[in-house]
Amino acid sequence: MQKQKLFFGLVCIGIFFLFSQCKKETENNEPLPPLGDAETWVTLANEDIQSLGHIVRAIQSEDAVEHIRIEDELVHLEMHNGSKAQVRLDYANYPSPLVGAHLIDDDYYWTIINGTGTSATRLIKDKDRKNQNIEDEAVPKMLVNNTGNWVVEMKGLQEEIADADGKPFRAIGRKSLFNSVSFDIDSNVTIVTNESPNRSYVLPKYRPFTLVFDRAETDVLTIASGFAIAVDFRQVGVEELEFDLPAAWSVTYELNVAQKSGVLQITSPTGMETEFDEEGVITIRAKDQYGRQLERKIPVKVEVGVVNYASVTFTDIVAGVELTGAIFTFAENLTSTNVRDVTAIKAGDTFRLMIPEGFPDLRKVTFTTAAGNFDYYFKPNTYLSIGEQNLSIAPPVLTSYWQGGIIVHIHETLPLSGIASYKITGKVVHVQSPEANINWFPNGNVNVTAASSDTDGAANTAAIISALGGPGTSANYIARWAIRVRDGGYSDWYLGALRDYEYFHQAWAPLVPNNASHVATINQKISGFGGNIKLQDTHNLFWTSTNISTTHAKAYDVRYNPPYTTGQKVYGARGLAFRDFQ
């Protein structure tokens, strides 16, 4: 009897536990959100949806933004046709569904997003199971139902939204639809959303009109007495500039419409004037063809004996070349494509310029002469400093640094005269090689016949990359390593063909890389340009991009004489990247 009672008790406990678990599986017992909070989430979510609709319809109708106003977390956009949108950047990030837009055959359709995976987005449909074109102006709404779950309503049809696990999407907060807003120099607006994946919506600016100085309006420009300093700016749509100046200060300017830029030349008082202001504010008013105005300010100060600019004297200039102007191009680093151009002021034989903050590397200078313009390229780690300095602009020759690498071939016959001495074309080699050996190909089963050229390394490399299935995500094969080189800010590097290595071998004459008594001098010169290549040391065998067969490709080995050999593709070697320059 006692055993029967015990068994019955255990059965009751088991049934109770089973039913309690079933209830947990079928019901969401989390507390409902406070009513006021849910109403706020719904209001903000629906405002975002309305704004997205206005943005998409503006894009489809090829409308443009006429007015932009930023107010706290809101970016207000007013279109030329009169419609308005506000982009809310409050960065709310609670788990919640989003309503977005999906482009199909030039039309945008409303979507619902319930997660972050590729299957998290689906099209919103009406009661007739039709996709909802955003141009139709019917707008979905987000709601929170009386059980505390998110609901989407479209044309009166309400649907409870499921989360990524297929369960009702509980309303515990709101996620922002909009992620960021950015503007380019034309004031075109790029809006990025938190849809999955993130989407970008670009709206052009109606009659763009901008004036941008890369300095804060609180930064005081200090100039030595009687000197002129160039201040570069970016602009679009500026027709003319007007100035309000402190006493005895002067400003001239130039506009470059094609480059969307300009330069001011600000000259300080000498201190000998009857009246002058030691400090003050230069007010710049830009006007466009429609009568609109923009105003910017530059605080200025004159100090006797203070030098806050670089003064550069160029040496080793080709005979007969007279430099009349110079624009200095600085980069963030050796590989960066982000650069700043600074216009210098010529004072006698020197050029004065302000060094741009955050752009330390002098990459090149564009010179103006009576015979035309030319560019001069400097080796890595060329820096300017405040005060006087000399820079050589000796004409480039073989093994000079130029456009991202060491010159190994020049098409023209040297010597040249005048500015032609600087306007050469040819080929450079990258000063770095892989730190470890890398295979040519993953197997010996593919004959990359389109990479069989002895002279066209670029075409060979393209064929190898295609045979590999694309650039991949890493430099796991030597051709993939070569195309990832970015020195000088260029992206057209390739694995050299046999002839490219012949150029490399011959460029050092009378030295040769496969002579043990010569390599120390060659390695030292490469190292002076920031290179890591140590011939007949850590770097001996180099892959070319010239294919031979399914199993072999041509190679270059500085231990041999002659240095040209072959290798099995599945084995590792170093490599050299080349590019052609104009």
Q: What is the pLDDT of residues 85-142, one digit of tens each?
A: 999 999 999 999 999 999 999 899 999 999 877 678 999 998 888 899 998 878 999 9
Percent of the chain with pLDDT over 70: 93
CA 548 vs CA 454, 455, 497, 569: distances in Å: 10, 14, 12, 10
Is residue 7 scored above 60 in pLDDT? no
Is residue 18 scored above 50 in pLDDT? no
Question: What count of Cα atoms within 13 Å lies in the side-chain half-sphere of residue 301?
Answer: 10
Is residue 8 scored above 50 in pLDDT? no
What the block records as the tokens of 369 is 């002469």
**What would the 3-class secondary structure string for 357-369 be?**
CCCCEEEEEEEEE
- Phi/psi region, residue 122 (left: phi>0; alpha: psi -120 to 50; beta: rest), is beta
490: which residues sit within 8 A by CB, 6+ positions away? 403, 404, 579
- R_g of the chain, CA atoms, integer Å: 33
What pLDDT, on the 0 to 100 scale, is given for residue 15? Answer: 40
Please indicate, yes or no, if residue 24 is contained in any of the structural domains: no
Q: Which helix (H) or strand (E) holds 236?
A: strand 228-236
* Domain shared by 444 and 496, yes or no: yes
| pLDDT tens per residue, range 408-418 | 999 999 999 99
Longest distance between any two alpha carbons in the chain, whole Å: 122
* Domain shared by 382 and 484, yes or no: no
* Domain shared by 357 and 278, yes or no: no
Please indicate, yes or no, if residue 4 is contained in any of the structural domains: no
What the block records as the tokens of 180 is 């960021």
The SS3 call for residue 244 is strand
Percent of the chain with pLDDT over 90: 81
Q: Which helix (H) or strand (E) holds 507?
A: helix 498-507
d(CA 23, CA 412): 85
CA nearest to 182, candidates 197, 202, 196, 211: 202
What pLDDT, on the 0 to 100 scale, is given for residue 467? Answer: 96
CA nearest to 441, candidates 470, 492, 473, 476: 476
* Domain shared by 75 and 187, yes or no: yes
47: which residues sit within 8 A by CB, 6+ positions away? 86, 88
| pLDDT tens per residue, range 22-64 | 433 334 455 555 556 899 999 999 999 999 999 999 999 999 9
d(CA 31, CA 474): 49
| pLDDT tens per residue, range 136-191 | 878 999 999 999 999 999 998 999 999 988 999 999 999 999 999 999 999 999 99
| pLDDT tens per residue, range 418-440 | 999 999 999 999 999 999 999 99
φ/ψ of residue 320, rounded to 5: 90, -5
Please indicate, yes or no, if residue 552 is contained in any of the structural domains: yes
Full residue range of the structural domain in which residue 575 is found: 429-581
Is residue 468 scored above 90 in pLDDT? yes
Query: In DSSP terms, which residues pair with 286 in a beta bridge?
Result: 241, 294
The SS3 call for residue 381 is coil
CA nearest to 355, candidates 325, 389, 324: 389
Task: Write down which residue in 242, 271, 303 finishes a domain.
Answer: 303
What pLDDT, on the 0 to 100 scale, is given for residue 136? Answer: 82
Task: Write down which residue in 175, 203, 231 finishes a domain.
Answer: 203
Is residue 196 scored above 90 in pLDDT? no
With beta carbons less than 8 A apart as the criterion, state whether 105 and 132 touch: no
* Domain shared by 132 and 99, yes or no: yes
CA nearest to 527, candidates 541, 514, 539: 539
519: which residues sit within 8 A by CB, 6+ positions away? 513, 535, 536, 537, 558
The domain total for the chain is 4
| pLDDT tens per residue, range 206-237 | 999 999 998 889 999 999 888 889 999 999 99
Whether the link from the prior residue into 415 is cis, omega within 30° of 0, is: yes
What pLDDT, on the 0 to 100 scale, is given for residue 31? Answer: 53
What pLDDT, on the 0 to 100 scale, is given for residue 32? Answer: 54
Please indicate, yes or no, if residue 140 is contained in any of the structural domains: yes
354: which residues sit within 8 A by CB, 6+ positions away? 229, 230, 231, 308, 309, 310, 342
Cα 443–chain centre separation = 36
For the segment 196-205, the average pLDDT, to the nearest whole number, is 93
What pLDDT, on the 0 to 100 scale, is given for residue 555? Answer: 98
Task: Write down which residue in 282, 303, 324 finishes a domain.
Answer: 303
What pLDDT, on the 0 to 100 scale, is given for residue 135? Answer: 87
* Domain shared by 229 and 333, yes or no: no
With beta carbons less than 8 A apart as the criterion, state whether 89 and 181 touch: yes
* Domain shared by 142 and 272, yes or no: no
d(CA 274, CA 467): 77
d(CA 268, CA 47): 53
Is residue 450 scored above 80 in pLDDT? yes
What pLDDT, on the 0 to 100 scale, is given for residue 33? Answer: 53
Please indicate, yes or no, if residue 324 is contained in any of the structural domains: yes
Please indicate, yes or no, if residue 405 is contained in any of the structural domains: no
With beta carbons less than 8 A apart as the criterion, state whether 145 and 160 touch: yes
d(CA 370, CA 543): 46
Say how many C-beta atoms besides its own lie within 10 A of residue 38's C-beta.
20
d(CA 555, CA 567): 6
Q: For the chain, give the mean pLDDT.
A: 91
Is residue 470 scored above 90 in pLDDT? yes
What the block records as the tokens of 580 is 């052609």
* Domain shared by 98 and 178, yes or no: yes
| pLDDT tens per residue, range 545-564 | 999 999 999 999 999 999 99
Please indicate, yes or no, if residue 3 is contained in any of the structural domains: no
Residue recorded with tokens 């499921």: 162
* Domain shared by 330 and 465, yes or no: no
* Domain shared by 485 and 547, yes or no: yes
CA nearest to 319, candidates 394, 243, 411, 398: 394
* Domain shared by 165 and 222, yes or no: no
Q: For position 249, which CATH number holds?
A: 2.60.40.10
The SS3 call for residue 540 is coil
For the segment 453-466, the average pLDDT, to the nearest whole number, is 97
Please indicate, yes or no, if residue 274 is contained in any of the structural domains: yes
With beta carbons less than 8 A apart as the criterion, state whether 462 and 545 touch: no
With beta carbons less than 8 A apart as the criterion, state whether 47 and 86 touch: yes
d(CA 170, CA 167): 9
Q: CA angle at residue 145 from 142 to 150, to 5 degrees?
A: 45
With beta carbons less than 8 A apart as the criterion, state whether 162 and 169 touch: yes
* Domain shared by 299 and 347, yes or no: no
